[in-house]
């Protein structure tokens, strides 16, 4: 095994460690989620300090060991426009938290890496807030899909539609824990499921966006069995 590993990585989290060090959590294309030690990164002379910012995409090189040590890191994408837009940044932090909480260490998932990368690129472009809201709902649907937890949809007929996190999504059967879904909510779900991010500005049925966001968040928290902290910032 090589003593040095190189990979493409998205920076998810930074944690203080010892006096001048940090533990950095990355989501990598080649290895999934990993943690590495950034030695002396808090010192003013550190060359790594400005290169290890949350949500940067970087080319990472590190040594092997119980706690791998960063050898070098070079930013590839920094998303400067996204960082200057609070609404875009809030949605980026939500996506960041989902990836952190849904993924085990060392489990590769290339579609998930590319999904997060593309979502950050989308947030870095100029989009009005309604489109950002639709993009967040689309990201929720896509991350569930690439993790094998896709929302179930009911066969089309004229009966009422219900949503249940415990039953996996939308259905035509009523039960104690089902929530009634308005037709525009289910219609928006079907529309978003088949649309790409770049076509979200063509969505006409936006009346059910708030309820759909709530349904998807309930489903995500049911799967994780814990709350998403970033959720409260989205509502501010």
More confident residue, 201 or 147: 147
Q: Among 25-29, 214-218, 229-233, which is the least confidently predicted range?
A: 229-233
pLDDT at 43: 81
Burial tier of 22 (Cβ tally within 10 Å: 0-12, 13-18, 19+): buried
Q: What is the mean pLDDT of residues 207-233?
A: 92
Report the side by side order of strands in the sheet with 169-171.
169-171, 161-164, 179-181
Whether residue 155 has pLDDT greater than 80: no
Q: What is the mean pLDDT of residues 207-214?
A: 91
Q: What is the pLDDT of residues 25-62, one digit of tens each?
A: 999 999 999 999 999 888 877 888 889 999 999 999 99
Q: What is the mean pLDDT of residues 80-99?
A: 96
Whether residue 182 has pLDDT greater than 70: yes
pLDDT at 58: 98
Q: In terms of CATH, what superfamily is 81-234?
A: Recombination protein O, C-terminal domain (1.20.1440.120)
Residue ranges of domains in the chain:
4-77, 81-234
Whole-number average pLDDT of the chain = 91
pLDDT at 96: 97
Residue 171: count of CB within 10 angstroms of its CB: 19
The partner residues of 27 in beta bridges, in order of sequence, read 10, 33
In 3D, which of 92, 148, 89, 151 has the Cα closest to residue 119? 92
pLDDT at 106: 94
Q: What is the mean pLDDT of residues 63-90?
A: 94
DSSP notation for 127-192: --HHHHHHHHHHHHHHHHHHTT-PPB-PPPSSS-EEEETTTTEEES---TT-EEE-HHHHHHHHHH
- Angle (deg, nearest 10), helices 86-102 and 209-224: 30
More confident residue, 231 or 115: 115
Q: In terms of CATH, what superfamily is 4-77?
A: Nucleic acid-binding proteins (2.40.50.140)
Whether residue 1 has pLDDT greater than 50: no
Whether residue 125 has pLDDT greater than 90: yes
Whether residue 156 has pLDDT greater than 70: no
The partner residues of 13 in beta bridges, in order of sequence, read 25
Q: What is the mean pLDDT of residues 62-88?
A: 94
3-state secondary structure of 12: strand
Cα separation, 213 vs 222, whole angstroms? 14
Whether residue 64 has pLDDT greater than 80: yes
Per-residue tokens: 50 = 């400005």
């Amino acid at each position: 095994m090589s003593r040095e590993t190189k990979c493409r990585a998205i920076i998810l989290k930074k944690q203080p460690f010892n006096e001048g060090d940090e533990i950095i959590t990355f989501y990598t294309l080649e290895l999934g989620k990993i943690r590495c030690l950034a030695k002396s990164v808090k010192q003013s002379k550190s060359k790594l300090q400005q290169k290890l910012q949350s949500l940067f995409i970087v080319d990472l090189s590190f040594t092997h060991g119980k706690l791998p040590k960063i050898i070098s890191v070079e930013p590839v994408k920094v998303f400067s426009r996204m960082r200057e837009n609070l609404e875009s940044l809030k949605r980026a932090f939500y996506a960041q938290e989902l990836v952190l909480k849904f993924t085990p260490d060392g489990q590769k998932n290339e579609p998930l890496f590319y999904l997060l990368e593309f979502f950050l690129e989308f947030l870095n472009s100029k989009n009005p807030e309604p489109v950002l809201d639709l993009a967040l709902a689309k990201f929720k649907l896509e991350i569930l899909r690439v993790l094998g937890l896709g929302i179930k949809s009911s066969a089309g007929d004229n009966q009422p539609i219900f949503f249940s996190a415990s039953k996996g999504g939308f259905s035509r059967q009523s039960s104690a824990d089902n929530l009634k879904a308005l037709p525009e909510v289910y219609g928006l779900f079907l529309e978003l499921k088949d649309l790409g991010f770049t076509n979200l500005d063509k969505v006409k049925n936006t009346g059910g966006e708030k309820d759909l966001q709530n349904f998807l968040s309930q489903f995500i928290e049911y799967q994780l069995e814990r709350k998403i902290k970033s959720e409260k910032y989205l509502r501010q």
